[in-house]
Structure 1
Amino acid sequence: MGGGRRRAERSRDRSPAVPVGRVLLAVVAIVAAVAGASFWVVTSDVDLPALPGQRSDPSSYGAGSTSSPGSTGATEETSTPPTPAEAYAALAKDLGPLTGECREQRKVAADPNSGVLGQLRCPVRGGTLVLTTYATTGDLDAVREGVQEPSVGSLASTDRAGIFHSVDPAVAGAADRATVYWDDRKALQSARVTGDAGTALAALTRTLDRVRPSVTAPTAPAAPALVELAAVFALKGCARVPVRWAGETEESTCSYRGARVRIGQFATGTRLGALRGEAAAAAGAAEDGLSDFWFYDLNGEDGRQDDEPEQGKVFGYPAAGDATSLWVDDTACRCWITFTQSGVDDPRTLYDRIF
């Protein structure tokens, strides 16, 4: 085949002088007024009204001290410490429903090398919530690096202000626990919920929906190159899903003229090449398999011109049931797309709809 193609489309005013006579008269008047007021204060038994901001009654001083302002004794602090929900308010609208039975993890906070200033462990329905406050942004970023490693079954966003990461055991494997992590870089705090054995990610998500976390799961493709590729192929209704392969950074489901579509991106070209090899093998093994390439049509002329390099590979092969799949990849962005259409026997039929 000859290759599929897609269209890439200030002055100052002086104040009037004040006569010296007026100044002297004003000073005399002020002195007389002060002397009169002093005499009234010394001879009167009437209490003066409090000045703005001054407490007239010592007993009205708020919690935090049991002594009056003039006391020379030791001050006893009686302020109430913040609740867990108040201390970690940056992480959710109201953590109250999940923090009723929290316990402080003193050993972690006491370790000078942990980078942790405080940590709470709270049992929640179906799992455990851990709330952490870090000493520095570097300590939080170190935790982020571990969390953001691409893994099978993960769904992640990487906004600098606050990241999200979850793992779905239905995709990752039964040995993995459902987890949800999010943080707030300004507050230097994070939250991590780990499900009990057998708890589904959906169950943890319903628990968290009650408190409205400050960072939630991503819902659409995020990588700029992936967003562009989806637009080039006119994909509709794309929604983020957990990744299915090691080294994959994100994946989404979409639709295209009745076909079911998956689109994703890998961290490295090596990972993309391995999956491409599987698609090529499937096409080679099929009697009606299809192997081709595609390019961006930059000038609208028939055929590929010298200034229109190959963008990626195309492979067509039978899928489960009566469906046919078409694999399309983009070497430059390490991206891939699969189109799967039921009721189609020949990959060329699907190829002609797309290219």
Structure 2
Amino acid sequence: MELHESLYALGRSQGRELFNDADSFRGALDDYLDEDSASTGDINLLVDAVRLGAYQAMMSMLESGADADRAVSEAGSRLARDRGSADVGGAKWALAVLGYASGKVSDAQVRRYRTQHASAPLPPPAGPPTVFPPTGTPASSPTPPISSPPHPIASQPPPTSPVWPSSGPTPGVPGSAPAPIAGGSYAAPPPSYGGYGHTAPKKKRKVWPYILIGAVVLALVLGGGIFALTQLGDGDDTDEPDKAKTSDTPEGPDVSFEAINERYTSLAAMVTSGMDECVAADPQSGQDERIECTFPNGKLVLTTYTSIAELKAARQRRLNYAEGTIVSDVESGAYYRFDPTTADEESAAPPILYWDSQAGVQSAELTGSAGVTADQLDPAFQAVSATVTPPDGATDIAVTDFNELFGITNCNRIPTEVDGETEESECRRSGRRTWVGKFAKVNDLRRYRANAKTLTEQDEDLVVDYWYNDDNGNGEQDEDEPEQGKIYGYIEEQDGGENYGVLYIDDLDCRCYLQMYDKGQGDPVKLYNVIFP
């Protein structure tokens, strides 16, 4: 795979916005490219194209409709000047490579500029035909009132077999003795890369054939001019349409609401419901079509991808487990909701709602305008009758097994409260508010567990215990029944002065936890006795 093809694949996997940040781009190149893929000088040249703004200038010209060769030439000349280099050909080559990686410059153009790169070695014999990349640049939680207990955390592991708790803190049983703890809450082308080369010198051409050709052309021009004058003088044809001005350029996609609704039925029954207007936008790399619609509370972007692989790549770039997210990632269609105010009540970041359809190879993304909250964005999603259903409770199988084991019911999905949580729900246990969550990584759960342990120690070890799988049902922990999770109880003081008892239980295999709050009695031991009577 040649260098420009490798960068196209890099941009498709990590997003074309990578090319806008010089430091991130350099780091990605060091991680992604093989040692013999490019020289240090070529990598520095590419990074400087981004760092000095030449790449951004080229993209601005291309997006404004400039010819690719002109944009590459002007931006390359600027890059050479800013670097104080006489290698203008090399600078243009670097811009052409980045243009190809962004889906704006053809393979043939990159190879043509490569011949101007004076420092490059000769390329190997030509490989299989190169494919030109697609045109375009790629690519709320029910918060408790002040008098209510705050919420806990979540995580996400594989399902585990049913487990059973120990009978409680019992002297002489490992883990049942109180221990000091503290309390509180908490599509690239296939040829192989072979460097850059120079074209062979061109043969000298004879002059006389061109003189003869010039005479013939002059006669044709004069004859055509006389013919045009006679036609202009004929008044009978003045009302005929000027067929010479007819353009063969294909028109853009139909952006009428009816047509859009018909094309995007895989995403919603009526995807334009509530929209003010929709316009066609330039598709990015890996996209066949991109439609942007506006409505009072924000913007809707509809995208059709060139393949399922491109859809999955876009999905991977969008989904994350940041604080304030609700994620449902299934093969047929993913759902993602982000509420920035979960992490920071004063955040000015826009809320986002995304969903997609693998069958339709399409996605939709709603972004709120300035000042619009995630709760205000939800009605726009509900109005279109989307084909994807947001999760309304615990969805991970291991979490549902964990809930069943400890009698947790009536769970409602909420935005995650901690980075790294894959899901979180507010539930009930014996009338007490109980939060259940799951982490993507064991270490994230361990850190959350350490916080609960610290809070227990501060409250003089009100509850310190562990639980295990009593597989044989004999009520005793045997050697083949290891510890399954920790149990901590502590007191949490609210701003209004009211104290809540909190019981924390986790499952390391599941990477999930629960935090149950009492009704203001400040008695975690009582909660322990509810779970382990």
Which bracket does the TM-score occupy, shorter chain normalised? 0.7 to 0.9
2:155 aligns with none
When structure 1 is superposed on structure 2, of 85-94 and 324-333 the one drifting more is: 85-94
Coordinate RMSD, CA, aligned: 2.0
- Amino acid across the alignment from 1:117: D
- Amino acid across the alignment from 1:157: S
When structure 1 is superposed on structure 2, of 295-304 and 319-328 the one drifting more is: 295-304
Tell me, yes or no, if structure 1 residue 283 matches structure 2 residue 456. yes
Cα deviation, 1:118-176, whole Å, max 9, x if unaligned, reads: 10111112110001111011111101112222111000111211110000123133143
Tell me, yes or no, if structure 1 residue 245 matches structure 2 residue 421. no
Report the alpha carbon displacement of residue 200 of structure 1 after superposing the two structures with TM: 1.2
1:337 aligns with 514
Tell me, yes or no, if structure 1 residue 95 matches structure 2 residue 268. no
Report the alpha carbon displacement of residue 346 of structure 1 after superposing the two structures with TM: 3.1
2:530 aligns with 353
C-alpha contact (below 8 Å) 1:98/1:122 kept by paired residues:
no
Cα deviation, 1:290-316, whole Å, max 9, x if unaligned, reads: 211111222332332223211100110
Pick aligned residue for 1:150 from 309, 318, 321? 321
Equivalent residues in 2 for 1:95-114, closer than 5 Å: 95-106=271-282, 109=283, 114=285
2:488 aligns with 315
2:395 aligns with 222
C-alpha contact (below 8 Å) 2:500/2:523 kept by paired residues:
no
- Amino acid across the alignment from 1:339: M
C-alpha contact (below 8 Å) 2:261/2:269 kept by paired residues:
no
C-alpha contact (below 8 Å) 2:267/2:386 kept by paired residues:
yes
Equivalent residues in 2 for 1:175-190, closer than 5 Å: 175-190=348-363
- Partner Cα separation in structure 1 for residue 483 and residue 318 of structure 2: 36
Report the alpha carbon displacement of residue 88 of structure 1 after superposing the two structures with TM: 1.3
Cα deviation, 1:326-353, whole Å, max 9, x if unaligned, reads: 1100010111110111243332221111
C-alpha contact (below 8 Å) 1:322/1:342 kept by paired residues:
no
- Partner Cα separation in structure 2 for residue 128 and residue 329 of structure 1: 41
1:201 aligns with 374
- Partner Cα separation in structure 2 for residue 98 and residue 90 of structure 1: 18
C-alpha contact (below 8 Å) 1:288/1:347 kept by paired residues:
no
1:43 aligns with none
- Partner Cα separation in structure 1 for residue 356 and residue 454 of structure 2: 43
Structure 1 segments, 4+ long, off by >4 Å, are: none
Which of the two has greater helix per residue? 2
Q: Describe the SS at the equivalent of 2:510.
A: coil
Tell me, yes or no, if structure 1 residue 165 matches structure 2 residue 329. no
Cα deviation, 1:80-136, whole Å, max 9, x if unaligned, reads: 956222221211111232444111112xx2x5xx10111011111211000111101
C-alpha contact (below 8 Å) 2:518/2:524 kept by paired residues:
no
- Partner Cα separation in structure 2 for residue 179 and residue 172 of structure 1: 15
Tell me, yes or no, if structure 1 residue 211 matches structure 2 residue 384. yes
| Identity over aligned pairs, percent | 33
- Amino acid across the alignment from 1:127: G
- Partner Cα separation in structure 1 for residue 343 and residue 361 of structure 2: 29
- Amino acid across the alignment from 2:399: L
Q: Describe the SS at the equivalent of 1:86.
A: helix
1:49 aligns with none
C-alpha contact (below 8 Å) 1:84/1:99 kept by paired residues:
no
Q: Which runs of 5+ in 1 are unaligned?
A: 5-76
2:86 aligns with none
C-alpha contact (below 8 Å) 2:308/2:358 kept by paired residues:
yes
When structure 1 is superposed on structure 2, of 166-175 and 268-277 the one drifting more is: 166-175
Using CA pairs under 8 Å that are at least 6 residues apart, name the structure with larger relative contact order, 1 or 2.
2
- Partner Cα separation in structure 1 for residue 480 and residue 329 of structure 2: 36
C-alpha contact (below 8 Å) 1:254/1:261 kept by paired residues:
yes
- Amino acid across the alignment from 1:219: D
When structure 1 is superposed on structure 2, of 268-277 and 88-97 the one drifting more is: 88-97
Pick aligned residue for 1:130 from 268, 278, 301? 301
Pick aligned residue for 1:84 from 246, 249, 260? 260
Pick aligned residue for 1:265 from 438, 460, 468? 438
When structure 1 is superposed on structure 2, of 194-203 and 269-278 the one drifting more is: 194-203
- Partner Cα separation in structure 2 for residue 185 and residue 219 of structure 1: 22
Larger Rg: 1
2:428 aligns with 255
When structure 1 is superposed on structure 2, of 127-136 and 284-293 the one drifting more is: 284-293
Q: Describe the SS at the equivalent of 1:283.
A: helix
- Amino acid across the alignment from 2:359: K
C-alpha contact (below 8 Å) 1:119/1:132 kept by paired residues:
yes
- Amino acid across the alignment from 1:120: I
- Partner Cα separation in structure 1 for residue 378 and residue 522 of structure 2: 40
Report the alpha carbon displacement of residue 216 of structure 1 after superposing the two structures with TM: 2.5
C-alpha contact (below 8 Å) 2:456/2:490 kept by paired residues:
yes
C-alpha contact (below 8 Å) 1:154/1:172 kept by paired residues:
no
- Partner Cα separation in structure 1 for residue 291 and residue 475 of structure 2: 65
Cα deviation, 1:199-250, whole Å, max 9, x if unaligned, reads: 1111111122221111131112111111100010111101111111111100
Q: Describe the SS at the equivalent of 1:226.
A: helix
- Amino acid across the alignment from 1:250: E
- Amino acid across the alignment from 2:360: A
- Partner Cα separation in structure 1 for residue 439 and residue 406 of structure 2: 19
2:409 aligns with 236
C-alpha contact (below 8 Å) 1:85/1:99 kept by paired residues:
no
